[in-house]
Copies of this chain bind each other. A is one copy, B any other.
Amino acid sequence: MIQLFRVSKYFGVIAALKDATIRIRKGEFVFVTGPSGAGKTTLLRLMFGAEKPTEGQILINGINLGRVGGSRLDFLRRQIGFVFQDFKLLHRRTVLQNVALASEVGGEKWTTTRKKTHQLLRAVGLTAKEHAYPLELSGGEQQRVAIARAMVNDPLILLADEPTGNLDPEITRDIMILFRSINLRGTTVVVATHNKELLRNTDQRVLFLQNGMIHE
């Protein structure tokens, strides 16, 4: 599903990721962890095609990200849900519109969009806030909007970057259950996190990053 061959990413002289070779199978649930600045976000953004690798090849679902661009990349992205560390919500659109956007972008039928949007907002506990604007939400609420948006398309792959940094332990547990359930329905899930708690109670695969180097 996701394959990286000897991928490196340099920002100037800074090596955010060094010579990483990773293979994640369809339906897997993988945690990525490591200290601040280790390269977790960079790794996830590379898998998403939001950064181009300096060296190496990345294959998503058999498609080489280095060779794809334009509308093919757009199409691929619609099959990948991404929870951004800084949320990346549209400030001028309501919670509902933000979540629906990801669905409308793929030309989804309006009724389907509405159904899925409501269903996900309920799952993250934001039904009451659906007409609020992101800047009127608390940090944790914004994070949950980002999570709902990433899942509204029933993506093949879900990449979540520190998805529980602003959430309390109870909601964190709920969100992890949500991720587990989408994973059980076949979605490959990659979660980058610092949260030792999450890693402690899991039997999932954990990638450990340090200074851009991967340790399994």
Contacts and interface: CB of A to CB of B under 8 A. Distances in A.
Contacts of A37: 137-138, 140-141
A193 to B, nearest CB: 9
Q: How many copies does the complex hold?
A: 2
Interface residues of A, number: 29
A37 B169 CA distance: 13
Interface stretch (A109-117, A151-159, A160-168): A160-168
Given A36-B144, A144-B36, A138 B41 contact: yes
Contact of A139 (B162, B169, B171): B162
Contact of A171 (B11, B35, B171): B35
Interface string A19-48: 000000000000001111100110000000
Given A36-B141, A37-B141, A144-B36, A136 B168 contact: no
Contact of A169 (B141, B169, B194): B194
A166 B168 contact: no
A20 B110 CA distance: 44
A216 interface: no
Contacts of A51: none
A170 interface: yes
Contact of A167 (B34, B40, B169, B194): B194
Contacts of A169: 194, 196
A137 B194 CA distance: 17
9 contacts: A11-B136, A35-B168, A36-B140, A36-B171, A37-B140, A139-B162, A140-B194, A168-B194, A169-B194
Given A40-B138, A140-B194, 13 more contacts: A33-B168, A35-B140, A35-B171, A36-B140, A36-B141, A36-B167, A37-B138, A86-B86, A139-B162, A162-B165, A165-B166, A168-B194, A169-B196
